[in-house]
Chains A and B, each alone.
Chain A
């Protein structure tokens, strides 16, 4: 169980870092969304194996699962939602201003023949 989670977290981390390193804004955005999901999964894994445990509600059972990582994840989800919303708006503004969704073109714009670049 723990090994499965560890592998899944590892694969998700790898995928999201790969996406972040790509040049397109959309892929970078998805990379960050995936990254926050994978780190949330990592946090969930710190509460230990849930085998034979019950939901952490008073009266639900004798052996509840550790609820604290779930509380942390809830906070982290809210924060990453806010940051993702901000990132979307920023990328949209950069797209409007620079007319590109490619990080390479953004910082090293291709040489234009017509000279209306600032």
Chain B
């Protein structure tokens, strides 16, 4: 079964083909958009079929069986993430197609975006810890390049903390791979998971799990490790910022989810408790940072952190319901966050700035944009029946059932402050009249097609909120199958190939 590799090979091929056009052209942009749409639809097909049949598709690369060769696994959770990455890439490409005239797009933007997608997708389908490291490196190197590609001379220094903290994280990840190899004698997820009972009570596992949690907390931006994020994301051009904000930190969350459910033993309760409190701190500090900022991209960048806190909290509760809520929350969050960044970009191109003291008056000229922003902002804050409500509701229910009242209170407080800072953008950019120092570029910018992109994403997000039952059902299947270690091991070991134990 070759399906898992399609999602890695396709973006890589598209990136290479894109490089053959030496200058950005309309054909190349259309090619990029169409292939991203194709990847998204393909992933959607696998989301539906795999979750209906509760099935995993497994590929042993080079035909070597599980513990020897590299295994790629496409299960419903990976398919959901592939769909989301394809969808965000599609939105980002569409937005950059409408935002800039062809000749002013950087020639390397599209190829690098697809290389980034290659790395992201490989980290979703891989079933091997070292291969995950390689996937992360592909992803990070592309993201370094994209971050600095179009940064101006003054902003470029902000990429330096991003680079150094991620280099440190990658090195720790490599050390964790070595540690895992010395404990398990294997780096294959299935082979590692199959030794859970044999290694029960081994304290080295706790060391390994803590190290892995630190590594992916750096990538995800969980509390003590998040300082690199809020300053580096705002230097990106809008469509790339939307893609980074939507996907990159969520790759960290996905890997935490995958490792805690599928690979590591389930009884690491002390570590789960630690993660829960770190998640609580992330929510509060992230949202306080957002309240303190006064420009749209800064506010939204801090919001990524506070939302990451909710997802990490859902992983940390570690009950079937909360894990399903985590998957639901990821689905909701990626789309909403990318939309909000795109709205922020449109506002700043309309007003010439995204400093909230000099924006305003957009409700009169661009009511659809305002409506999209309002819907997505309320969804981010968790107002029913929008998509953000359901994920938060499930997490709160689990928190109360587990008697973690303090964490639930922190999550509620973060929700209220989210609403407050979102209203700050709403009032500053849309509702209040244009201040005297502000300016409005209605005719110079192509904001109408940009609004159409934003509106399309808002409709998808609304559909998730209104069709929450179906999305929840898929999330529940995905999280249940990720939790089912014995099923995962059996499926991987039964896959065809030569060699093996």
Contacts and interface: CB of A to CB of B under 8 A. Distances in A.
B292 interface: no
A107 B179 contact: no
Contacts of B153: 97-98
A69 B186 CA distance: 11
Nearest to A103: B160
B277 to A, nearest CB: 26
B87 to A, nearest CB: 29
Contacts of A55: none
A88 B394 CA distance: 47
A72 B178 contact: yes
Contacts of B145: 86
B156 to A, nearest CB: 6
Contacts of A28: 164
Interface in A78-94: 79, 82-83, 86-87, 90-91, 93-94
A79 B134 contact: yes
B178 A90 contact: no
A118 interface: yes
Given A20-B168, A36-B171, A79-B134, A106 B157 contact: yes
A68 B177 CA distance: 12
Given A46-B179, A69-B181, A118-B154, A93 B164 contact: no
A82 B181 contact: no
A18 to B, nearest CB: 13
A93 B178 contact: no
The secondary-structure label for the interface of chain B is helix
A52 B163 CA distance: 42
Contact of B175 (A39, A75, A98): A39
B167 A98 contact: no
B23 interface: no
B137 interface: yes
Given A20-B168, A32-B167, A94-B160, A86 B174 contact: no
Interface residues of A, number: 31
A106 B178 contact: no
Interface residues of B, number: 28
Interface in B133-175: 133-134, 137, 140-141, 144-145, 148, 153-154, 156-157, 159-160, 163-164, 167-168, 170-171, 174-175
Nearest to B174: A39
A46 B171 CA distance: 16
Nearest to B181: A46
B179 A106 contact: no
A115 to B, nearest CB: 15
A83 B154 contact: no
A13 to B, nearest CB: 9
B171 A72 contact: no
Given A86-B141, A90-B159, A97-B156, A75 B134 contact: yes
B154 A46 contact: no
A39 to B, nearest CB: 5
A20 B177 CA distance: 22
Interface in A40-79: 40, 42-43, 45-46, 68-69, 72, 75-76, 79
Interface in A12-41: 20, 28, 32, 35-36, 39-40
Given A75-B134, A83-B167, A93-B148, A43 B160 contact: no
A72 B187 CA distance: 11
Contacts of B175: 39, 42-43
B130 interface: yes
A69 B164 contact: no
B357 interface: no
B211 to A, nearest CB: 12
Contacts of B432: none
A69 B163 CA distance: 26
Contacts of A39: 171, 174-175, 178
Interface in B386-416: none
Contacts of B174: 36, 39-40, 43, 72, 76
Given A35-B171, A68-B181, A106 B134 contact: no
Contacts of A93: 148, 156
A107 B157 contact: yes
A98 B178 contact: no
Given A39-B171, A97-B156, A83 B137 contact: yes
B177 A72 contact: yes
A20 B164 contact: yes
B154 A69 contact: no
B178 A97 contact: no
A41 to B, nearest CB: 10
A97 to B, nearest CB: 4
A33 to B, nearest CB: 11
Contacts of A45: 178
A67 B159 CA distance: 37
Given A42-B175, A42-B178, A106-B160, A72 B141 contact: no
**Most-contacted residue by chain B among A40, A79, A87, A103 (CB, 10 A):** A79
B157 A94 contact: yes
Interface string A87-118: 10011011001100001001100000000001
Given A35-B171, A83-B137, A97-B154, 9 more contacts: A32-B171, A45-B178, A69-B181, A72-B174, A79-B137, A79-B170, A86-B144, A93-B156, A98-B157
For the complex of A and B, 3 pairs with smallest distance between CB atoms: A97-B153, A46-B182, A43-B178
